[in-house]
């Protein structure tokens, strides 16, 4: 194959999964055979080549979601308190996990349903939270088995960044909406304050990295009107975590003796090997001691974090969550201008 032909094929393959533009710049990072590229058209960063792992990988890697109740994430809380969001109606949560948000939305007045590929998590949602309408599978399977079913609200919190094809995922979500329906979502904020490497933010776990600009561009391009968008403020807990990453002594590693594999390293392991390794690490007393020491380290750093928090906020540093609420744009309407969108954002920031 001629060099020019090979180059052309590579450019086509590197098209942005959100807007379709070709990423022309250099690779920003590399991880397990994939490169991180930046789209100059919409500001999205995406990994290529990547492929979403199957349900078995998520079940093995995210063990624990089916054994204990989990606190609501900031995106859940922002939606339930968003003055622009509906307060009643039918709600479908894509990637509902163990059902903690579905239970909270039900208690707030919604008629709830969920979709989740992890079968053990869906069973926990039924048994622990009493949520009956939980479908074990992926959204496209739900659409196939529930044709013509639509909802007033479709939500997906911390889900979009896991998709290798976010455009198709959003089209499925839109197809599940009533005519005047709303979508609420959250993603990790790429512009968050980060010290060190976030091992969760690499393939096969996270396949895209979203900024407020990239998320707004993506949603508005898909004929959705942004009602509110919010970046999580920096918190004392987040500052303490980042300080902990800065003040490393190696003591915890020496206590644990074995460093747990990253999610990227899990991608090379068979599912049963992942399960065995996680069980062994969980039952290792040295790992337990290291975890307790890590908690104490955060507690020691909390007073310093409390003192630094206002200074860091003044510098414009933010937390890790990015929340957005949109609705189908009415026929004949035009998109809001950037200035009007910014005004809407400030209302709930």
Under 8 Å between Cβ of 115 and 94: yes
pTM of the model: 0.84
Strand-pair category, 110-116 with 177-188: unpaired
Question: Which residues are CB-neighbours of 258 under 8 A, at least 6 positions away?
Answer: 281, 284, 286, 287
Question: Which residues are CB-neighbours of 155 under 8 A, at least 6 positions away?
Answer: 79, 91, 92, 93, 94, 101, 183, 184, 185
Distance CA 17, CA 159 (A): 15
Distance CA 205, CA 213 (A): 22
> Which architecture does CATH list for 55-196+211-225+320-348?
3-Layer(aba) Sandwich (3.40)
DSSP symbols for 2-20: -HHHHHHHHHHHTB-TTT-
How many residues are listed for the chain in this entry?
A: 349
Distance CA 24, CA 249 (A): 40
Which of 9, 64, 41 is CA-nearest to residue 281?
64
Where helices occur in the chain by DSSP H, the ranges are 3-13, 55-61, 74-81, 100-108, 119-129, 139-145, 166-175, 212-221, 236-246, 251-256, 263-266, 271-283, 285-314, 338-348
173 CA to centre of own chain:
16
Q: Which residues pair with 34 in a beta bridge?
A: 31
At residue 333, the pLDDT reads 57
Which run of H or E residues covers position 186? strand 177-188
Residue 238 to residues 49, 113, 194, 305, 319: CA-CA distances in angstroms?
31, 32, 9, 8, 7
Under 8 Å between Cβ of 219 and 182: no
pLDDT tens per residue, range 26-81: 899 998 889 999 999 999 999 999 988 877 777 777 766 667 788 999 999 999 99
At residue 347, the pLDDT reads 35
Q: What is the DSSP letter of 79?
A: H
At residue 65, the pLDDT reads 63
Domain ranges for the chain: 55-196+211-225+320-348, 237-314
Q: Give me 296's structure tokens.
A: 């104490």
At residue 14, the pLDDT reads 85
The dihedral of CA 60, 170, 102, 139: what is its sign? Answer: negative
Residue 333 to residues 98, 276, 329: CA-CA distances in angstroms?
38, 55, 7
At residue 250, the pLDDT reads 58
Q: Give me 343's structure tokens.
A: 């005004």
Under 8 Å between Cβ of 95 and 157: yes
Burial of 187 (0-12, 13-18, 19+ CB in 10 A): buried
Under 8 Å between Cβ of 96 and 123: no
Q: Which residues of the chain have pLDDT under 50?
A: 1-9, 11-12, 336-349
Distance CA 252, CA 47 (A): 31
Q: Please state, as a whole number, how many other Cβ atoms lie within 10 Å of the Cβ of residue 196.
A: 11
At residue 9, the pLDDT reads 40
Under 8 Å between Cβ of 61 and 274: yes
3-class secondary-structure state, position 297: helix
């Amino acid at each position: 194959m001629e060099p020019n032909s090979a180059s052309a094929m590579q450019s086509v393959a590197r098209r942005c999964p959100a807007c379709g533009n070709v990423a022309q710049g250099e690779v920003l990072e590399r991880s397990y055979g994939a490169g991180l590229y930046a789209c100059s058209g919409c500001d999205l960063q995406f990994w290529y080549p990547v492929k979403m792992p199957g349900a078995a990988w998520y079940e093995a890697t995210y063990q624990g979601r089916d054994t204990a109740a989990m606190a609501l994430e900031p995106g859940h809380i922002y939606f339930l308190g968003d003055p622009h969001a509906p307060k009643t109606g039918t709600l479908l949560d894509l990637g509902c996990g163990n059902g903690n948000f579905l239970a909270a939305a039900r208690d707030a007045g919604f008629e709830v349903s969920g979709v989740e590929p992890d079968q053990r998590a869906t069973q926990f949602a039924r048994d622990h939270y009493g949520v009956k309408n939980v479908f074990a599978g992926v959204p496209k399977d739900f659409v196939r088995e529930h044709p013509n079913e639509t909802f007033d609200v479709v939500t997906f919190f911390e889900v979009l960044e896991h998709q290798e094809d976010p455009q198709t995922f959003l089209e499925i979500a839109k197809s599940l909406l009533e005519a005047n329906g709303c979508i609420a979502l959250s993603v990790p904020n790429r512009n968050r304050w980060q010290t060190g490497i976030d091992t969760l933010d690499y393939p096969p776990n996270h396949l895209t990295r979203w900024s407020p600009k990239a998320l707004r561009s993506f949603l508005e391009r898909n004929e959705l009107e942004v009602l509110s968008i919010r970046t999580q403020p920096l918190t004392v807990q987040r500052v303490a975590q980042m300080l902990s990453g800065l003040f490393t002594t190696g003591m915890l590693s020496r206590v644990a003796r074995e460093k747990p594999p990253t999610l990227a390293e899990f991608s090379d392991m068979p599912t049963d090997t992942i399960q065995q390794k996680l069980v062994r690490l969980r039952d290792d007393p040295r790992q337990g001691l290291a975890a307790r020491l890590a908690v104490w380290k955060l507690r020691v750093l909390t007073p310093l974090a409390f003192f630094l928090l206002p200074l860091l906020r003044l510098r414009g540093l933010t937390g890790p969550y990015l929340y957005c609420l949109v609705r189908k744009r009415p026929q004949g309407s035009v998109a809001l201008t950037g200035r009007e969108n910014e005004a809407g954002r400030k209302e709930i920031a």
